[in-house]
Amino acid sequence: LPFNLLHSYARLWNLSLDRAMSPWFLPIDRIERFLSILCVAYFFVLFSHKIFREKVGADSGRRLRLLFWGSLIGLTPFGGMVIYTLLTGEDVSETFPQWLSFGIVLVLAIFPLSLAYAMVVQRAMDIRLIVRQGTRYAFARYTLFGIRALLGVLFSWRLTIFFADPESHRRPVDVVLIFVLLVLFFGFRMVLSGRLQQEIDRRFFREAYSTEQVLSELSEQAHNFTETGPLLSTITQRISDTLHIERMAVFLRGSGDVFRLQTATGVDLTSPVLLPAHSATVNTLSREKRPAAMRIDDSSHWLLEASDTERAALSEFQTELLVPLPGRGRLIGVMALGPKRSEEPYSRMDRRLLESVASQTGLALENAELLQSLAHEAAQRERVTRDIEIAREVQERLFPQSYPEFEGVDVAGYCRPAQEIGGDYYDVMEVKRASDDGPPQPRLLGLAIGDVSGKGISAALLMASLRASLRGLTLVGSSDLGELMGHVNKLVYDGSTANRYATFFYAEYDPATRRLCYANGGHNPPVILRGDQVLELEVTGMVVGITEDAAYEQRDIYLEPGDILLLFTDGISEAMDGDDEEWGERRMVAATQQERARGALTAEGLLRALYRRADEFVNGAPQHDDMTLVVMRVN
pLDDT at 115: 82
Phi, psi angle pair for 169, to nearest 5°: -95, 0
Task: Round to whole Å and give the CA distance between 248 and 273.
Answer: 13
Provide the pLDDT for residue 597: 86
Q: Judging by beta carbons within 10 Å of its beta carbon (0-12, 13-18, 19+), is residue 183 exposed, middle or buried?
A: exposed
pLDDT on residue 507: 95
Q: Which CATH class is domain 400-634?
A: alpha beta
Relative orientation angle of helices 228-243 and 348-398, to the nearest 10 degrees = 170
Which of 175, 304, 323, 144 lies closest to 235 in space, CA to CA? 323
Burial 241-270 (b: 16+ CB within 10 A, else e): ebbebebbbbbbbeeeebbbbbbbbeeeee
Average confidence (pLDDT) per 10 residues, the chain, 635 residues: 85 83 85 85 83 61 79 87 79 78 88 80 55 65 78 81 70 80 79 71 52 60 70 81 82 79 76 75 80 62 68 77 83 86 76 81 79 81 82 83 92 90 89 69 90 81 86 80 92 83 93 94 94 92 90 94 94 89 92 86 91 92 90 94
How far is 563 from 389, CA to CA, in rounded Å?
A: 38
Q: What is the DSSP letter of 188?
A: I
From residue 445, alpha-carbon distances to 298, 411, 555 in Å are 94, 10, 16
pTM listed for this prediction = 0.50
Distance CA 28, CA 31 (A): 5
User: What are the residues whose beta carbons fall under 8 Å from the beta carbon of 475, sequence distance 6 or more?
Assistant: 433, 434
Beta strands at 409-416 and 248-253: parallel, antiparallel or unpaired: unpaired
Residues 6+ apart with CB under 8 A from 631: 411, 412, 413, 564, 565, 566, 567, 603, 604, 606, 607, 610
Give the pLDDT score at 136: 63
293: amino acid identity, one letter = A
Structure confidence at residue 366 (pLDDT): 78
pLDDT for position 156: 83
Helix, strand, coil percentages in the chain from 3-state DSSP, rounded to 5: 55, 15, 30
pLDDT at position 207: 46
Question: What is the predicted pLDDT for the residue at 209?
Answer: 43
First to last CA, the chain: 121
Question: How far, in Å, CA of 290 to CA of 303, rounded?
Answer: 15
Whole-angstrom distance, CA of residue 358 vs CA of residue 573: 62
pLDDT for the residue numbered 381:
85
The correct CATH number of 208-371 out of 1.10.1760.20, 1.10.10.10, 3.10.450.40, 3.30.450.40 is 3.30.450.40
Under a CB-based contact definition with an 8 Å cutoff, are residues 325 and 362 in contact? yes
Q: Which residues are CB-neighbours of 192 under 8 A, at least 6 positions away? A: none
Q: Compute the Cα dihedral for 458, 461, 466, 469 and give only its sign.
A: negative
